[in-house]
Structure 1
Amino acid sequence: MRRAPRDTEATSRSVTRRALLMGGGMAAMVAALGARMRFLGVEQADQFRLLAEENRVSIRLIPPARGLIQDRNGKLIAGNEQNYRVVITRENAGKTDAEVEDVLNRLSNIIPMTAEDLADAMKELNPRVNSAFVPITVAERLNWGDFSKVAINAPALPGVTPESGLSRVYPRDFDFAHVVGYVGPVSEKDLEGLREAQVETGAPIDPLLMIPKFQIGKIGVEKWMEDTLRGTAGTKRIEVNHVGRVMRELAREEGVKGKDLRLTIDADVQNFVQARLGEESAACVVMDVNNGDIIAAVSSPSFDPNLFVRGISSTDYRALTEHDHRPLANKVVQGAYPPGSTFKMVTALAALEAGVIDENTVVRCPGYIEMGGIRFNCWKRGGHGPVNLKRGLSESCDVFFYDISQRVGIDKMAEMGNKLGLGLRHDLPMSAISAGIMPNKAWKQETKGQDWVIGDTINASIGQGFVLATPLQLAVMAARIASGRQVAPRIVHSVNDIAVPIAEVDGINLDGSKLRAVQMGMYEVMNGPHGTGRGSRIADPTMQMCGKSGTAQVRNFSESEKLSGARKNESLPWRLRDHALFVGFAPADAPRYAVSVVVEHGGGGSAVAGPIARDALLRALTGGMPPLSAYPESQRGTIETQQNAMQLRKPDGSLPAESKV
């Protein structure tokens, strides 16, 4: 049905009004949006540009957890502890030094900070020293209360951020200071070495090392196993507002923890030996003769490596450097000493191997020999009379070795010394390892520009003159004599619980009968009726030891001093007294451990170093406090008193309260 014209007209007017209303509303909305967009994009442009620039996304490195170091039984030697610290970023703290200094001053009103701390922080925050984007640690090892204060006041401290991280700690402090070492901040000297290595190898420098106050190993295992222990950095993306406050963490990628190390050292044996050496300036090494494992490597006196991690004071450092017993030196590998009579096995084996003597060769000792108008005395002024190899070793007759050394010559002696581990730098992850000196004719010509003379050979035959050896080398010598094999020392047992392979070793290519002749001489030293080491023997027949003591002069004496008795150790100042030495192994019939002991200016080797070596061997063999039954009956009362006085660690590794420094 057709609509009337009037109805069509009315409908058309209604649609037109609605369209106009809707169009007008939409136009108003577009106009309002346009006005708002103009306001935000034009009038507020500067403000939003500033906010966009100051509300930054920053990428920061996350230092990984450093690998743990444990003893052979899994006891912790070096670990990580929680460290509450405060960092500041120059870029967010202020544009000028005055603004940065003002932030630091406000921070010092919240947590303890000395004037020196503030000065150091300003130095580190200097853009010429570190990038303005790099967070600088200005305080660490805060307690929870101070850490919380910083967090609460963070809005008023632009650029300041409280953080929680890890720091190195050495729970067995003094016992492993020389072996494990310690960590410290990367120094300019460290960076110079890294840059030189980068030029040579082309390998990039780990960015972790560029973080101010990032800590790396400085000495010992911590230094030489740094790449293994350090791990790989992680990263985090954080949003920081215009006053430098961290608003949120946007993303995080964790790093890779450093690898854990397990050493060959037994922490309990190490502690026993450390306590046994006491305040002596000394060193002791206990070594497995079968695989070269170092069971104990002690240098005394020691120091607390935790002091270096936390920042040692100038007073404490001066006390260490000025101490006449040199506590910072690792005497085990750095100390090179005349080996004295402990060298006589080298002379004997060289002569036996060269065929110039056999075990029955006899030398008459009147108490001295004369050579080129010079008298070389035996320690026994009246002489020993007729002496063969066994007696020469057991009673340590100097004249016997003076004589046979002239027959064999220094070059053969030097070859034997090298074969037994002397004059060689043994490869261990320890600092400043000395190679000692095993001289020969060529060595003297090269180093002194002089010809070798017979007097040099005579002096070398008893471990004096130019011969120098470290306690580590002497332990290796004893182990090779005990085993007849070229056993090499090692100190890393496993990495991440994967055992480090033990290299196959060859024999030392000595006739078995000749080696046994020397071993028997060392047995007589300890157990023979006239042996010089009899006072330090082990009474238990299942653990009897073989050994050789040595007494090394540190200066020459005139004939008048010798005749007047002025050379007696007890009459001399400490620094002029003889060094006391001892090497040995046990059990005699099936050697398991070798030992070496050097006591600086200790006097007689048999009286001073021998008892220490015996106790160290017994502790390793028995796995506990040496039983009194292992000692000669006449000594048991003294030994019991001595053992009761030793300040040993508790089973949890802590020291008795009265022994803490």
Structure 2
Amino acid sequence: MQKDGDRSKVFARRVVLLGGGKALLVSLLGARMYYLQVMEADTYRTLADENRINMRLIPPPRGHIVDRFGVPLAVNRQNFRALVIAERTRDLEQTLRAFRSLTPLTDYDYQRVLKESSRRRSFVPITVRENLTWEQMAVIQVHAPDLPGVIIDEGLTRDYPYADLASHILGYVAAVAEEDITGDDPLLELPDFRIGKAGIEKVYDLPLRGKSGASQVEVNAVGRIIRELRREEGEPGHEVQLTIDIRLQDFASRRLGEQSAACVVMDVHTGELLAMASMPAYDPNAFARGLTNQEWKTLASDPRAPLRNKALAGQYAPGSTFKMVVALAALESGIMNAEQTVFCPGHLRLGNHLFHCWKRGGHGHMNMTSAIEQSCDVYFYEVARRIGIERIADMAHRLGLGSPLDIELPGEASGLIPSKAWKTATLGQPWVQGETLVASIGQGYVLATPMQLAVMTARIANDGLAVRPTLCRQAVVDGGLVPQSPPSFDSIGVSRQSMAVVKNAMWRVVNGNRGTARRSAIDVDGQTMAGKTGTSQVRRITMQERQSGVRSNEDLPWEFRDHALFVCFAPAEAPRYAVSVIVEHAGGGSRHAAPIAHDVMLETLRLDPSRNRVPGQTAAIPRDAPPDAPRTQNGGAEMAAGPATGTNDGSPPAGGPLQ
């Protein structure tokens, strides 16, 4: 009995211990459940919602770019895309073959879809083709029963209605590269998002981009979308308005044609650019959809450089268009006046070197006006010898040469105006007087862009106001756009008397009996044009060639021919517009560049809102007419040759010292 009692006590004790242990475990479990369900309820509710609800970004419509009259230059168009969902097809390859029989599908895209389907979940849509036309989209919709799993999705893609006519100004958009992800904008993470990569699209990318919207969707455990719970639309990008007149841009581009050339049209009082054409150009739509390797190789290997904005990034020896700079430097220095003459026998001797004039027999006695009118090189050799390179360089900088103009586009070249200090610092060599003579006719080290030449001409035309070019009527402030303030320009510090001498000489270049561009003169209701021809050498003429006869440009390979230049302003009686033209490897300025400037200036005057029409040139087009409205009487691309020109182009084919 005693043993039974002991066993009973032991058993009772063990029961109490086990019961206590169980009670403790239940208490701990209850405490843990209380902690999780009560104390951490908000945390786990949030985690559960995040697993069930996804936030998806909605890319906003990109802002439009328009010309000065509101004509769209860069817009968004509907982009119909064909997608396929693999789990809805019985046989993906059979579906793709059926799709190919209705709409073109490359072998690359065919294999790409199959490859992506093996890597993605079966319910995730795969893009089969983008940029379907309305007709192609309709055909797919009609044959939907034969295309199981194929659906049509609608989005927006960037579109440039005028293709290559303004591509160097507008730039293009393209997919986001890894180096572009520098901020915290979540839009940059979207696979199909496009950002500005060049031109205005790049400079104004942030305001054009807009702000993203958001869509809240419910998904299941494997990520399939069940339904959309909430949607917030984004903020569309801002509209950017340019100073360009697309009708004038169209005309200038087509007038340049297939030549490697550039043309700039500028308001001499405000600095607004009405046209900035660089040809040949490229189609930015190709960049928006994605270039093929072959398309890129074709563009990159073209010797005429269609990807380069020659108006802004092309640097050329300005040739005789630089002579106005030397003339103003001489007048302002007081060392020479407009009536002093220099005798031109066809060359100037400096030590053992001969510096030749373009006219073999010489021009005889020349004063400043006749020297500019007939583009006498010897006159400017002598002027430069007297005044020195430093005075010439100072005047060139005042007129906008030799430094960037800070226009609202990337890739602007600075040009080059040499000086003694520049040569010492750059080449480690002293300046020699022969280089001053060569610089006086815009050769040697001197380089300028067509944009700088237009600014130089505008500053002469407006009597010395330091006008600067502008391309956009808005400025970026804190990621948004505000209207540009009215321009206010200081004086470059050149007297009106000196400007009057040079402007009169430029008038005689076009309208004088011996002017080098006399056959490109215009007369619009008594209003005329003033200008200056120029030709810049790209090769050196040897003494042997000079003795045997200098080869004409037509006998040389294209890359060895001279560049043709012309700058002008009109109306000469009350200047309003400045034009600069350069045609690469064309030959004489009066023969190849002046006729283009003549036609572009006439079109500029015709489109001037203060005028109705330039008689006898192009048919009137209403201000609200589309830029592609038909033209008559030598309008548009039919004007391939321009007016007849003389052979005396006032250019220095033999400029520079002979060894």
What range describes the TM-score normalised by the shorter chain of this pair? 0.7 to 0.9
Shift in alpha-carbon separation, 1:211–1:183, aligned structure 2, 3 A: same
**Which of 492, 498, 507 is 1:514 aligned to?**
498
Q: Which residue of 2 aligns with 1:553?
A: 537
**Residue of structure 1 equivalent to 2:45:** none
Aligned residues of 1:363 and 1:403 also touching (Cα < 8 A): yes
CA spacing shift, 1:644–1:339, aligned 2, 3 Å: closer
Residue 562 (structure 1) shift: 2.1
Given that 1:110 and 1:146 are in contact with CA atoms closer than 8 Å, whether structure 2 keeps it comes out as: no
Q: Aligned equivalents of 1:150 and 1:426: distance in 2?
A: 58
Contact 1:539 1:629 in 2 (8 A): no
Conserved 8 A contact 1:110-1:149: no
SS at match of 1:217: strand
The structure 2 residue matched to 1:144, chosen from 133, 137, 146, is: 137
State the alpha-carbon separation in 1 of the partners of residues 404 and 426 from structure 2. 18
Report the residue type matching 2:638 in the other structure: M
State whether structure 2 residue 380 is matched by structure 1 residue 401.
yes
Q: Which moved more, 1:229-238 or 1:306-315?
A: 306-315
In the alignment, structure 1 residue 172 sits paired with structure 2 residue 162: yes
| Cα displacement string for residues 376-432 of structure 1 (whole angstroms, at most 9, x for unaligned residues) | 100111111111110110010101111111222112211111111111112223231
Query: What secondary structure sits across from 1:298 in the alignment?
Result: strand
Note if contact 2:255-2:636 (Cα within 8 Å) is conserved in structure 1.
no
Aligned residue for 1:28?
none
Q: Which residue of 1 aligns with 2:235?
A: 256
Alpha carbons of structure 1 residues 413 and 150: separation in structure 2 relative to 1, 3 Å:
farther
Q: In terms of mean alpha carbon deviation, does 589-598 or 500-509 score higher?
A: 500-509
Q: Does 1:487 align with 2:467?
A: yes
Shift of residue 466, structure 1, vs aligned partner: 0.5
| Residue number in structure 2 paired with 1:70 | 66
1:338 partnered with 2:317: yes
**Which aligned pairs between 1:227-238 and structure 2 lie closer than 5 A?**
227-238=206-217
Which residue in 2 is equivalent to 1:628?
Answer: 616
- Whole-angstrom CA distance in 2 between matches of 1:324 and 1:353: 42
Please tell me whether the aligned partners of residues 137 and 212 of structure 1 are also in contact (alpha carbons under 8 angstroms). Answer: no
Deviations 1:231-262 (A, max 9, x none): 11111012234675533211111111100011
- The number of equivalent residue pairs is 565
Q: CA deviation at 1:217?
A: 1.1
Q: CA deviation at 1:216?
A: 0.9
1:488–1:167 distance in 2 versus 1, CA, 3 Å: same
Distance in 2 (alpha carbons) for counterparts of 1:520 and 1:374: 33
Measured after TM superposition, the shift of residue 190 of structure 1 is: 2.8
State the Cα distance separating 1:504 from its structure 2 match: 1.0
Match of 1:368 in 2: 347
Using the alignment, how far apart are the partners of 2:117 and 2:485 within structure 1? 47
By how many angstroms is 1:542 displaced? 2.9
The alignment status of 1:600 with 2:556, answered yes or no, reads: no
The Cα of 1:141 is off from its aligned counterpart by: 1.9
- 2-structure distance, mates of 1:104, 1:411: 76
- The residue that corresponds to 1:303 in the other structure is 282
Relative distance call for 1:88 and 1:503 in structure 2 (3 A) is farther
CA gap of 1:61–1:441, structure 2 versus 1, over 3 A, is: same
Aligned: 1:219 with 2:198: yes
State the 1:208 CA deviation: 0.7
Question: Over residues 36-66 of structure 1, what are the superposed CA-to-partner deviations in whole Å (9 max), with x where a residue is unaligned?
Answer: xxxxxxxxxxxxxxxx999943211111000
Contact persistence 1:371–1:455 (CA under 8 A): yes
Q: How far did 1:337 drift? A: 0.4
Partners of 1:544 and 1:588 within 8 A in 2: yes
Shift of the 137–489 alpha-carbon distance from structure 1 to 2, 3 Å rule, reads: farther
Q: State the partner residue of 1:282.
A: 261
Shift of 1:309: 1.2
**1:100/1:161 CA distance change after superposition, 3 Å:** closer
Distance 1:504 1:594 in 2: 18
> Which whole-Å CA distance do the structure 2 matches of 1:273 and 1:322 have between them?
25
Unmatched segments (≥5 aa) in structure 1: 1-51, 94-98, 195-203, 631-638, 649-661
| Contact 1:628–1:640, Cα closer than 8 Å, also in 2 | no
Change (3 A) 1:233 1:111: farther
Give the aligned residue type for 1:493.
R
| 1:78-117 map, 5 Å | 78-85=74-81, 108-109=96-97, 111=99, 114-117=106-109
Please report how far the alpha carbon of residue 439 of structure 1 lies from its aligned counterpart in structure 2 after TM superposition: 1.3
Summarize the Cα distance change of 1:411–1:126 in structure 2 as closer, same or farther, 3 Å threshold. Answer: farther
Alpha-carbon shift at residue 357 of structure 1 (Å): 0.8
The one-letter code of the counterpart of 2:333 is A
Q: Does 1:539 align with 2:529?
A: no
Supply the distance in 2 between the matched residues of 1:422 and 1:103 (Cα, whole angstroms): 67
Which residue of structure 2 aligns with residue 426 of structure 1?
405
Q: Is the 8 A contact 1:615 1:626 kept in 2?
A: no
Distance 2:570 2:600 in 1: 11
User: Which residue of 2 is the match for residue 43 of structure 1?
Assistant: none
**Alpha-carbon distance in structure 2 between the residues aligned to 1:486 and 1:620:** 22
How has the CA–CA distance of structure 1 residues 150 and 165 changed in structure 2, closer, same or farther, with 3 Å as cutoff? farther
Contact 1:60 1:235 (C-alpha < 8 Å) held by counterparts:
yes
Using the alignment, how far apart are the partners of 1:251 and 1:587 within structure 2? 61
Cα 1:273–1:317 change in 2 (3 A) is same
- Partners of 1:84 and 1:147 within 8 A in 2: no
Taking structure 1 as reference, are residues 288 and 132 closer, same or farther at Cα in structure 2, changes over 3 Å only?
farther
Work out whether residues 80 and 169 of structure 1, in 8 Å CA contact, stay in contact via their aligned partners in 2. Answer: yes
Please state how far the C-alpha of 1:512 moved relative to its aligned partner: 0.9
The offset of 1:313, in angstroms, is 2.7
TM superposition shift of 1:361: 1.6
Change (3 A) 1:150 1:527: same
What is the aligned partner in structure 2 of residue 13 from structure 1?
none
- How does 1:293-332 map onto structure 2 within 5 Å? 293-332=272-311
TM-score where L is the length of structure 1: 0.78
Separation in 2, partners of 1:256, 1:240: 26
State whether residues 616 and 633 of structure 2, in contact with CA within 8 Å, keep that contact through their aligned partners in structure 1.
Answer: no
Distance 1:510 1:377 in 2: 30
CA distance in 1, matches of 2:374, 2:121: 70
CA RMSD of aligned residues (A): 3.4
8 Å contact from structure 2 (residues 214, 231) kept in 1: yes
Give the 3 Å change call, closer, same or farther, for CA 569–627 of structure 1 in structure 2. Answer: farther
Between the aligned partners of 1:121 and 1:409, the Cα distance in structure 2 is: 70
Q: Distance in 1 between matches of 2:66 and 2:97?
A: 41
Change (3 A) 1:610 1:224: same
Residue 187 of structure 1, aligned match among 177, 182, 196: 177
Deviations for 1:49-84, whole angstroms, at most 9, x for unmatched residues? xxx999943211111000001111111111000112
Alpha-carbon shift at residue 549 of structure 1 (Å): 0.5
Contact 2:207–2:481 (8 Å) recurs in 1: no
**CA distance in 2 between partners of 1:148 and 1:131 (Å):** 25
Superposed displacement of residue 575, structure 1 = 1.1
Corresponding residue SS for 1:443: helix
Distance 1:313 1:226 in 2: 24
2:189 matched residue in structure 1: 210
SS of residue matched to 1:447:
helix
Q: Which residue is equivalent to 2:450?
A: 471
* Kept in 2: contact 1:367–1:377 (CA 8 A): yes
